[in-house]
Amino acid sequence: MQRFQDPNETAFLIELMAREIGRPEVVLEVGVEKMGTLVIWHAIAHGDYWPAKVIGIDMVDHTAGLWRQFPGMQMIFGDAHDPATVEQARQLTEGKVDFLFIDGDHTYEGVSADFDNYWPMVRPGGMAAFHDFLQPSDFRPAVQRLFFEKVAAGAFRKVWTYAEIGRGGIGIGVKS
């Protein structure tokens, strides 16, 4: 597992999650890589007496199968934009996602497709977080642009952003 996320950013998000949605029972992450964030959602969501579904999507398994060690974790390996992947996610989540973490393809078209495909699976009152959206680089402004377009379009009931110099930054929204 790689752990290089900003701990302050993660703490901000976890605190919000606890306050806004409580313990998530269905988590969907787009862009797993080596589970740096997925294991955090798993630790929060899953316990022996409170089973949760923690579902990850990635092009390939970057974890060498390590994800199988985590009870309740399920993976979909394929292009997140492929309708077959979207359909698998719909079936696994039953459209009841409490927390959606978008951290896959950071191009404008990519993050836009991820939002269009997976936001409908988030339940009313559920939360979505867009990772890597504030730092100036060749791709992150696309995530920022998409996030604020959705804010302006009224997609979210509540929104927050978190940014630290040199870190990815995150945009968070709650569904009406």
Contacting residues toward ligand SAM, per CB under 6 A = 2, 5, 31-34, 36-37, 57-59, 62, 79-81, 103-105, 110
Bridge pairing between strands 170-175 and 156-162: antiparallel
Task: Tell me whether residue 4 or residue 49 sits nearer to ligand SAM (CB atom).
Answer: 4
From the list 47, 42, 117, the residue with the least C-alpha distance to 80 is 117
* H helix runs in 22-79, sequence order: 38-45
Min dist. Cβ of residue 124 to ligand SAM (A)? 25
Give Cα 24 distance to the centre of its chain: 12
CB of 67 to ligand SAM, least distance (A): 12
Rounded Cα distance between 128 and 6, Å, is: 18
Nearer to ligand SAM, 49 or 81 (CB): 81
Closest to ligand SAM by CB, 60 vs 152, is: 60
Cβ proximity to ligand SAM: between 26 and 30 the closer is 30
Least spacing, CB of residue 49 vs ligand SAM, in Å: 27
Residue with the shortest CB distance to ligand SAM:
36
Residues 6+ apart with CB under 8 A from 28: 55, 56, 57, 89, 93, 97, 99, 100, 101, 118, 121
